[in-house]
């Protein structure tokens, strides 16, 4: 009937249980359903742009999203990813500053928009929701401070190994042990913080070391423990 025919309902959202919305009751979910909207994005489409003020938060229904910042002379730096159940854009709401990153779909994605009003209402009315968001922002900081340390101290090869493991954690592996996301060498370079050529060479090295295999664009992880050791993430 309405223009919202394709809009998924929160109550039946497959991603809800692992999201910050898990503790809301039916009434609260219905309220969100009433006010939210949902958009579908193709690979490469921009969901929101760094620098503008956020007017609400975005909740990923399904798909794969990269969050990146423009650094030196326009070079992209990927700082985070989001998949089903993750929310994005909330930092800008909370800090009352412009969005600090651009969100881009890496794949066909469905993303709901929840207006600021509802977001702040949930924070005020539902201490458990508030705590969930606090937990989320705290974990973000902890990940970020680790990333700062690694960027500052590790070699390019170690960082590459670490990023491959991060991609595995975030997007998982397919039946064939390949990392289940399509990124260009340039995008990988923009995570690692190096030149595209360096990534190509270093992926070649990792292949020679039998840590990975390259099947076209797909990266297959052959020796996860070896990558962990190389990246110097525990042993």
Partner DNA sequence: CTTAAAGTATGATATTTGTCATAGATCCTA
Partner DNA sequence: TAGGATCTATGACAAATATCATACTTTAAG
- To which residue do tokens 């900081």 refer? 141
9 or 75: CB nearest a copy of itself: 75
Query: Binder to a copy of itself among 138, 186, 204, 217 (CB under 8 A)?
Result: 138
Measured from the Cβ of residue 209, the count of other Cβ atoms closer than 10 Å reads 15
> For 58-126, where are the alpha helices, taking DSSP H only?
90-95, 116-125
Task: Count the site residues for DNA by CB under 7 A.
Answer: 19
- 196, interface contact from a copy of itself, DNA, none, CB < 5-8 Å by kind: DNA
Contact 192, 156 (CB under 8 A): yes
- 229, interface contact from a copy of itself, DNA, none, CB < 5-8 Å by kind: none
Minimal distance, residue 186 CB to DNA, in Å: 5
| Token pair in block for residue 134 | 């606090």
Residues 68-87 that bind DNA (CB under 7 A): none
Query: Binder to a copy of itself among 20, 59, 133, 211 (CB under 8 A)?
Result: 133
What is the phi/psi pair of residue 95, to 5°? -85, -10
Q: Which stretch binds a copy of itself (CB under 8 A): 106-114, 123-131, 200-208, 216-224?
A: 123-131
Minimal distance, residue 66 CB to a copy of itself, in Å: 13
157 near DNA, judged by CB under 7 A: yes
Binding mask 187-216 for DNA (x = CB under 7 A): ------xxxxxx-xx-xx---------x-x
Residues 88-117 that bind DNA (CB under 7 A): none
Q: Report long-range pairs for 178-183 (Cβ below 8 Å, ≥24 apart).
A: 178/215, 178/218, 178/219, 178/220, 178/221, 179/218, 179/219, 179/220, 179/221, 181/64, 181/106, 181/107, 182/106, 182/107, 182/217, 183/106
DSSP secondary structure letter of residue 7: P
185 or 220: CB nearest DNA: 185
Question: CA quadruple 79, 209, 184, 220: dihedral positive or negative?
Answer: negative
The span from the CA of 9 to the CA of 6, in Å, is: 9
- 156, interface contact from DNA, a copy of itself, none, CB < 5-8 Å by kind: DNA
Residues binding a copy of itself (CB under 8 A): 69, 71-72, 75, 77, 79-80, 90-97, 100-101, 123-124, 127, 130-131, 133-135, 137-142, 144-154, 192-194, 232
């Amino acid at each position: 009937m309405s223009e919202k025919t394709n809009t998924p309902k929160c109550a039946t959202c497959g991603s809800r249980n692992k999201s910050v919305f898990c503790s809301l009751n039916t009434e609260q979910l219905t309220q969100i359903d009433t006010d939210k909207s949902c958009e579908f994005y193709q690979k490469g489409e921009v969901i929101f742009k760094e620098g503008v003020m956020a007017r609400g938060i975005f909740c990923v229904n399904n798909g794969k999203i990269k969050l990146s910042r423009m650094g030196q002379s326009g070079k992209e730096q990927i700082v985070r990813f989001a998949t089903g159940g993750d929310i994005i854009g909330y930092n800008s709401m909370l800090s009352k500053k412009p969005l600090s990153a651009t969100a881009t779909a890496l794949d066909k994605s469905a993303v709901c928009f929840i207006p600021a009003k509802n977001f702040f209402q949930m924070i005020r009315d539902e201490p458990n929701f508030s705590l969930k968001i606090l937990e989320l922002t705290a974990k973000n900081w902890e990940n970020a401070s680790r990333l700062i340390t690694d960027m500052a101290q590790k070699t390019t090869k170690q960082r590459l190994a670490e990023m491959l493991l991060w991609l595995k954690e975030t997007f998982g592996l397919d039946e064939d042990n390949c990392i289940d996301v399509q990124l260009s060498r340039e995008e990988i370079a923009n995570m690692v913080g190096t030149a595209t050529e360096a990534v190509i060479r270093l992926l070649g090295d990792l292949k020679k070391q039998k840590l990975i295999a390259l099947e076209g664009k797909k990266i297959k992880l052959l020796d996860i423990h070896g990558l962990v050791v190389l990246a110097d993430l525990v042993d």
